[in-house]
Structure 1
Amino acid sequence: MSQFERLTIDDIARLAEVSRTTASMVLNGNAERYRISAATVERVLQVARDHHFTPSQSARALRSRRSNTIGLVIPDLTNSAHAALAQAMEWQCRERYRYQLVIVTSDEDPVRETEGIAHLVAQQVDGVVVVPCTADAPRYDKWVKRLPIVFADRRVATSAIPYVITDAAETVAALVGETIEQGAREVVYFGGQPELSPSRDRLAGYRLALERHGMAEQSDWVFQRDYQRESGYALMKAWFEAHGRYPEALFAGSITLLEGLLEFVNEAHQLAQAPERVMTFDDHQLLDCLPLRIDAIVQDSGLLAEHSLRCVFSLLEGVGAPESIQVPAQIHYRQRRGQPART
């Protein structure tokens, strides 16, 4: 038996010396409607305050068919981009909608992701926002008849589920293109899982920059594994060992890949040797503290969260199928534009 006491509305009614119906009306905000006296209302509320009691959310959900909760499924809370999205969404749920956000993580594992969505559905959340970890549309499409579901940060090409993503291709093309314009003749790309939409979009932007500047992609320029820090380390180590030097310019497809490649550069050369120019997708304030000047593409987590929630509530209210949205990104320049990366 649990050592914890679970107070019920019957307990509150007994302590306040009122009927269960009266206690329920007071605690659910219906006292005025049923003309319950102010003295009785205060007595019930005081007992509830004294015992830190709140009405059962499950019971409210059964009555109203709403739980006032939204689920968020993200791959990894240690990833700063995902953490920023979760933070922005939690604030907007609470402050704008008076909803609570429930977060589960998938660890980029489709099985665990499906279990997480199933858990949220079982908890009767009113809608789910998912950062999908697979391109397998049927894994997600089976939920659309149960509750509103929206993709954020990533999309699934063969699914009709609406999505809110960053307009990555043009921003990557602009940043890599500027590097080429400043004289770079070798630009290496490290990316994540090729089946994921951010990987495809970021690589498309990189290749668009090469095409626009008449530069042919070389066989040892593009490498993709996943978005784990360990992969950034392994890719940088392998490239350095194969060439005996660092590439002239390097674009990392995520902040986690950047962390890994910088770990190798620091371990091998204490950052004294490095690519002449380093660029990354996603930003972090710690990059301001490095001796390397790293330009970063900044996603707008606030807008991603805002539009994702707007899609969820549009579906929830039945006002029509929301359109998918691409949110613009910005570039945080640390390297002075128009100047060589290092001298």
Structure 2
Amino acid sequence: MSAYQRLTIADIAELAGVSKTTASMILNGRAEQYRIAAATVARVQQVAAEHHFQPSASARLLRSRRSGTLGLVIPELTNFAHAMLAQMLEPICREAGFQLFVVSSNDDAEMEVKAVEQLLARQVDGLMLVPCTNNAKLYAKWAKRMPLVLVDRRVIGSQLPFVVTDAETPVCELISRTLAQGVREIAYFGGLRDLSPSVDRLAGFQQAWQAQGLEANPALIKHRDYHQHSGFAMMNECYEQLGRYPEALFVASISLLEGALEFMNKHDRFKTAPRYLMSFDDHSLLDCMPRPINTVVQDSAQLARHSLDRIVALLAGQSVQSVWVPARLHWRQDLASSAGESA
């Protein structure tokens, strides 16, 4: 037997001196519909407030066939970009009447399936997902069971709606301005090559070289995954390959940047380092680094808002379009007098 006491609507009705049916109608927002007297409504609401009572979510589910919950699946809770996405989503979901469940796939396909199955078991009304594979058939299957929007990453070849940062444009500008300084050696560290962030960010990197009639050294373009330890490993590999640091370095995520910086700190505490450091994703702590790091800043608030708007539209039976969210550049190392906006 539980030591905890849970009040029911019957308890509130008894304390307020009304019938259980009357209390239920008032507490579930149907007092006006059934023309219940204002004084009765106020009395029941006062009793409920004094006892911190909330109507049962399970009961509402049975009546509405909605759970009032949404799911968000992200690769890593420790990844700053994904943590910011969750941080921005939670309050606007709450304002829209939804409780947000956040789970991690650890960027692993099997864990992703288990995470989604757990959310399905909880009967979430919709799902926002940062995919860790290009398994279009799997995601299409889930989309038949509930509204599904892909966030931060798209699935190449899939027609599922996505909300993704336009990576090509800012990466191309960042690399172009670095090349304009006479730099001809830029290492590129990316995640899994077939994931859309890798495709889009590398496309921007290559586009910058091509626009100036140049070609990046393919030996300095490296891919692993988006975990921090991979950034460390690629920096170590690059240093051993050259016998020094490259003149410039671009990393395709802040988690990879963390790994690369860890190597530099352990190697010689930044006494030597690439002359130019660049990263996709930003963090205020980068303002405190001994070397300036220019970054692409994603608009987490817009990623969250567009994602929720599409889930709500799908729940209403409406069709939705994918959206590319613009990013901006944060120049900590001014590469030219026309460097543009600084954060």
- What TM-score do you get using the length of structure 1 for normalisation? 0.93
**Counterpart in 2 of 1:29?**
29
Tell whether 2:84 aligns with 1:84.
yes
Amino acid at match of 2:25: M
Tell whether 2:74 aligns with 1:74.
yes
Deviations 1:80-121 (A, max 9, x none): 1111111122232233x2333221111112222222222222
**Counterpart in 2 of 1:163?**
162
Structure 1: runs of 5+ lacking an equivalent: none
**Counterpart in 2 of 1:203?**
202
Amino acid at match of 1:237: N
Question: Deviation at 1:284?
Answer: 0.6
Range with greater deviation from structure 2 (205-214 or 46-55): 46-55
**Counterpart in 2 of 1:53?**
53
- Could you tell me whether the CA contact under 8 Å between 1:283 and 1:298 is conserved in 2? yes
Deviations 1:160-188 (A, max 9, x none): 21001111112111111111111111111
Calculate the aligned-residue CA RMSD, in Å: 1.7
- Could you tell me whether the CA contact under 8 Å between 1:164 and 1:304 is conserved in 2? yes
Q: What secondary structure does 1:52 align onto?
A: coil
**Counterpart in 1 of 2:14?**
14
Q: What secondary structure does 1:70 align onto?
A: strand
- Could you tell me whether the CA contact under 8 Å between 2:279 and 2:295 is conserved in 1? yes
Amino acid at match of 1:62: L
Q: What CA distance in whole angstroms lies between the structure 2 residues aligned with 1:216 and 1:38? A: 75
Amino acid at match of 1:24: S
**Counterpart in 1 of 2:222?**
223
Deviations 1:113-137 (A, max 9, x none): 2222222223232211111111111
**Counterpart in 2 of 1:182?**
181
Range with greater deviation from structure 2 (205-214 or 34-43): 34-43
- Could you tell me whether the CA contact under 8 Å between 2:293 and 2:333 is conserved in 1? yes
Tell whether 2:334 aligns with 1:336.
yes
Q: What secondary structure does 2:237 align onto?
A: helix
Q: What secondary structure does 1:145 align onto?
A: helix
Question: Deviation at 1:39?
Answer: 4.3
Amino acid at match of 1:263: E
Q: What CA distance in whole angstroms lies between the structure 2 residues aligned with 1:40 and 1:310? A: 37
Structure 2: runs of 5+ lacking an equivalent: 338-343
Question: Deviation at 1:77?
Answer: 1.9
Q: What secondary structure does 2:78 align onto?
A: coil
Amino acid at match of 1:217: A
Deviations 1:163-218 (A, max 9, x none): 01111112111111111111111111000011210011111111111212222232
- Could you tell me whether the CA contact under 8 Å between 2:178 and 2:335 is conserved in 1? no
- Could you tell me whether the CA contact under 8 Å between 1:191 and 1:253 is conserved in 2? yes
Closer/same/farther in 2, CA of residues 37 and 322 from structure 1, 3 Å limit:
closer
Question: Deviation at 1:17?
Answer: 3.9
Tell whether 2:124 aligns with 1:137.
no
Q: What CA distance in whole angstroms lies between the structure 1 residues aligned with 2:145 and 2:7? A: 32
- Could you tell me whether the CA contact under 8 Å between 1:177 and 1:210 is conserved in 2? yes
- What TM-score do you get using the length of structure 2 for normalisation? 0.93
Q: What CA distance in whole angstroms lies between the structure 2 residues aligned with 1:42 and 1:311? A: 37
- Could you tell me whether the CA contact under 8 Å between 1:155 and 1:163 is conserved in 2? yes
Range with greater deviation from structure 2 (254-263 or 45-54): 45-54
- Could you tell me whether the CA contact under 8 Å between 1:72 and 1:101 is conserved in 2? yes
**Counterpart in 1 of 2:273?**
274
Amino acid at match of 2:336: G
Q: What CA distance in whole angstroms lies between the structure 1 residues aligned with 2:246 and 2:93? A: 44
- Could you tell me whether the CA contact under 8 Å between 1:70 and 1:126 is conserved in 2? yes
Q: What CA distance in whole angstroms lies between the structure 1 residues aligned with 2:28 and 2:102? A: 27
Q: What secondary structure does 1:143 align onto?
A: helix
- Could you tell me whether the CA contact under 8 Å between 2:192 and 2:198 is conserved in 1? yes
**Counterpart in 2 of 1:113?**
112
Q: What is the correspondence of 1:316-327 to structure 2 with a 5 Å cutoff?
A: 316-319=315-318, 321-327=319-325
Amino acid at match of 2:76: D
